[in-house]
């Protein structure tokens, strides 16, 4: 029983000092400030008031010097604790140094001029110090034993034998008592921290999959993207289980929940502890991979996920698969919204191209408009058509191009914040114009970008207008008509925006 209790305590202690390192640093820093401030004030009051309480008492050099020394540590601790990052080594060094200074002053106060009187402060200090500061036993008691030995040496040198023996006994009792008190307080601290940590984990974790929930994973990813350096390549993956509604409908929600739990385990087995894993909602997961030297590593992770899902399929005798959209951030800085949008676009592309696949787009925010002209995307697989449109429109618009459906989605994700209008062909390889319209219609941040469809099939006009297209032009087209239709589409957009703003006011 005792052996189990000791083993449990050691495990709690080690986990506390490992996981709660930053919390311990803050506690010690705050305690150094409070103790040094309290001793500065109390010693000053002692010097001023004691002569009126004890007739004939005068302050010693030790009393006088203790005030500026404590004030110095109070000042530097106040300054250092205001810094955003605090070094464990620096904080521990300051705390242990101050503890050493206090022991030296107290030993001098209790021995040098009180040869026939018992010590007042040493036993109190021995009990208080380990209870106030948070250190591993071997660190704090190594220092305390060193000063206990020094104290005993000074006792037998400066005091009478009887008084030295009395003070020595009191100090040993104080040291043993402090060990018991420190043990109890440290265990309570560890248990309290672990309970808080467990509660924090539960509030941050998705109960079904065992990984972070949406709000916490999004917060962690945002913080990382705001603080990352441009030399730190990273990748954001959005993973979606293919046809998961069909899984629930045919196999039941219980099996569906088991599969989602299995997906959580697959992600935990596949990615590193430094990566961020989150369940974004339903059957959708989000992963942030940090410190990625090259894209091939991300691709290998995707293949590993596909392999593990095939193994999971065997358990349920049901063909499971997933699609993954990836945004790879190299060098540039980028907002969470930008990186997520590009990964989301890539996911849509992966699903549109047949599912059970992954698509990766690079994040590039270094693009800058050359002037104040609005940005237009011309998406057409026919190079001659693109050239005709460019010649007709380049005086009024800055133009980027796409020749496939997937490239169109990539360009929309890349330039969504700058994009003023899209000219879209319906028939393109690797994803057609219908898929682009469907994607844009379901995305709040890009659904307002006007799309003018240019197609040879006039029968599809009703379909494309229902999907949110602003206008449709039949092929072969007249360049001047295109110019007019584009201007009208932009005017309609501006008019709609002003109407919405007026309604909100």
Q: Is the pTM of this model over 0.85?
A: no
CA 420/CA 363 separation, integer angstroms: 20
Answer for the pair 411, 453: CB distance below 8 angstroms, yes or no.
no
Beta strand 375-379 with 419-425 is: parallel
Task: Please list, in sequence order, all residues whose beta carbon lies within 8 angstroms of the beta carbon of residue 357, skipping any fewer than 6 positions away.
Answer: 323, 324, 350
- Condensed to tens digits (0 to 9), the pLDDT of residues 11-24 reads 777 778 877 788 88
Q: How confident is the model at residue 322 (pLDDT cuts 50, 70, 90)?
A: very high
Q: Name the β-bridge partners of 379.
A: 402, 424
Answer for the pair 470, 451: CB distance below 8 angstroms, yes or no.
yes
Answer for the pair 396, 369: CB distance below 8 angstroms, yes or no.
no
Q: Specify the DSSP element, H or E, that contains 327.
A: strand 322-329
User: Does pLDDT of 3 surpass 80?
Assistant: no
Lookup: tokens for 165? 């023996």
Side-chain-facing half-sphere of 417: CA atoms under 13 Å:
13
Q: How confident is the model at residue 71 (pLDDT cuts 50, 70, 90)?
A: very high
Side-chain-facing half-sphere of 50: CA atoms under 13 Å:
12
- CA distances from residue 101 to 74, 87, 115, 174, 483 in whole angstroms, order as listed: 13, 21, 22, 19, 83
Q: How confident is the model at residue 503 (pLDDT cuts 50, 70, 90)?
A: low
Lookup: tokens for 380? 């057409």
What's the pLDDT score for residue 197? 65
Lookup: tokens for 1? 């029983």
Lookup: tokens for 74? 């109070």
- Condensed to tens digits (0 to 9), the pLDDT of residues 424-474 reads 998 888 878 888 888 888 776 677 889 999 988 766 788 888 888 889 998
Beta strand 471-474 with 234-241 is: unpaired
The residue written with tokens 């932009």 in the block is: 490
Beta strand 358-363 with 322-329 is: parallel
CA 483/CA 133 separation, integer angstroms: 75
What's the pLDDT score for residue 366? 46
Residue 409: which of 389, 432, 388 has the closest Cα? 432
User: Does pLDDT of 279 surpass 80?
Assistant: yes
Answer for the pair 409, 349: CB distance below 8 angstroms, yes or no.
yes
Side-chain-facing half-sphere of 85: CA atoms under 13 Å:
1
- Condensed to tens digits (0 to 9), the pLDDT of residues 164-173 reads 888 899 989 9
Q: Work out the average pLDDT over 331-337.
A: 83
Helices 405-415 and 433-441 cross at an angle (nearest 10°) of 30
- CA distances from residue 234 to 228, 278, 297, 339 in whole angstroms, order as listed: 9, 16, 11, 10
User: Does pLDDT of 115 surpass 80?
Assistant: no
- Domain 214-363 fold: Alpha-Beta Plaits (3.30.70)
- Condensed to tens digits (0 to 9), the pLDDT of residues 357-410 reads 898 888 865 455 556 788 999 999 999 999 999 999 988 899 999 998 888 888
Q: 3-state secondary structure string, 216-259?
A: HHHHHHHHHHHHCCCCCCEEEEEEEECCHHHHHHHHCHHHHHHH
Domain 375-504 has CATH 3.40.50.2300: yes
Helix (H, G, I), strand (E, B) or coil at 150: helix
**476 prior amide bond cis, ω within 30:** yes
> How many Cβ atoms from other residues are within 10 Å of residue 25's Cβ?
21
Q: How confident is the model at residue 296 (pLDDT cuts 50, 70, 90)?
A: very high
The residue written with tokens 């229902």 in the block is: 466
What are the sequence ranges of the domains in the chain?
Answer: 2-204, 214-363, 375-504
Q: Specify the DSSP element, H or E, that contains 267.
A: helix 253-270
What's the pLDDT score for residue 370? 58
Provide, rounded to the nearest whole percent, the portion of the chain with pLDDT above 90: 30
Answer for the pair 286, 237: CB distance below 8 angstroms, yes or no.
yes
CA 14/CA 137 separation, integer angstroms: 12
What's the pLDDT score for residue 303? 94
Lookup: tokens for 102? 């206090």
Higher pLDDT: 162 or 198? It is 162
Q: How confident is the model at residue 269 (pLDDT cuts 50, 70, 90)?
A: very high
Residue 414: which of 347, 344, 341, 351 has the closest Cα? 341
Answer for the pair 428, 408: CB distance below 8 angstroms, yes or no.
yes
User: Does pLDDT of 6 surpass 80?
Assistant: no
Task: Please list, in sequence order, all residues whose beta carbon lies within 8 angstroms of the beta carbon of residue 144, skipping any fewer than 6 positions away.
Answer: 103, 126, 129, 130, 175, 178
């Amino acid at each position: 029983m005792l052996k189990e209790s000791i083993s449990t305590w050691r495990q709690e202690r080690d986990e506390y000092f490992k996981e709660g390192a930053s919390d311990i640093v803050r506690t010690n820093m705050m305690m150094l400030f409070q103790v040094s401030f309290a001793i500065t004030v109390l010693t000053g009051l002692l010097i001023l008031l004691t002569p009126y309480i004890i007739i004939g008492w005068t302050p010693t050099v030790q009393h006088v010097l203790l005030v500026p020394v404590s004030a110095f540590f109070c000042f530097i601790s106040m300054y250092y604790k205001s810094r955003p990052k605090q070094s464990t080594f620096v904080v521990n060094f300051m705390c242990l140094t101050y503890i050493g200074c206090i022991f030296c002053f107290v030993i001098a106060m209790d021995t040098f001029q009180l040869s026939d009187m018992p010590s007042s402060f040493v036993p109190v200090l021995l009990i208080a110090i380990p209870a106030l500061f948070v250190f591993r036993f071997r660190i704090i008691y190594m220092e305390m034993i060193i000063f206990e030995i020094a104290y005993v040496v000074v006792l037998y040198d400066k005091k009478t034998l009887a008084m030295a023996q009395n003070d020595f006994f009191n100090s040993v009792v104080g040291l043993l008592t402090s060990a018991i008190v420190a043990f109890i307080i440290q265990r309570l601290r560890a248990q309290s921290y672990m309970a808080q940590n467990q509660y924090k984990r539960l509030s941050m974790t998705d109960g079904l999959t065992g990984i972070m929930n949406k709000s916490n994973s999004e917060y962690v990813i945002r913080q990382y993207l705001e603080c990352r350096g441009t030399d730190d390549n990273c990748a954001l993956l959005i993973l979606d289980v293919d046809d998961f509604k069909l899984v629930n409908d045919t196999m039941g929600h219980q099996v569906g929940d088991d599969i989602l739990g299995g997906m959580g385990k697959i992600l935990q087995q596949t990615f590193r502890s430094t990566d961020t894993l989150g369940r974004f909602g339903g059957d959708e997961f989000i992963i942030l991979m940090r410190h990625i030297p090259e894209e091939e590593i991300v691709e290998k992770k995707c293949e590993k996920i596909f392999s593990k899902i095939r193994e999971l399929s065997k358990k349920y005798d049901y063909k499971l698969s997933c699609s993954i959209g990836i945004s790879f951030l190299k060098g540039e800085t980028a907002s969470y919204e930008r990186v997520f949008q590009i990964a989301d676009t890539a996911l849509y592309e992966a699903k549109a191209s047949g599912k059970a696949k992954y698509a990766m787009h690079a994040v590039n925010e270094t693009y800058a408009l050359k002037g104040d002209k609005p940005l237009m995307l011309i998406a057409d697989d026919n190079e001659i058509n693109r050239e005709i449109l460019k010649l007709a429109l380049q005086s009024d618009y800055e133009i980027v191009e796409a020749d496939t459906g997937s490239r169109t989605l990539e360009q929309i994700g890349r330039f969504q914040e700058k994009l003023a209008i899209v000219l879209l062909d319906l028939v393109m390889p690797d994803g057609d114009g219908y898929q682009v319209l469907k994607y844009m219609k379901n995305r709040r941040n890009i659904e307002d970008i006007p799309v003018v469809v240019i197609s040879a099939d006039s029968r599809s006009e009703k379909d494309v207008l229902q999907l949110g297209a602003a206008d449709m032009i039949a092929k072969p087209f007249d360049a001047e008509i295109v110019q007019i239709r584009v201007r009208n589409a932009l005017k309609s957009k501006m008019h709609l925006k002003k109407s919405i703003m007026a309604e909100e006011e």
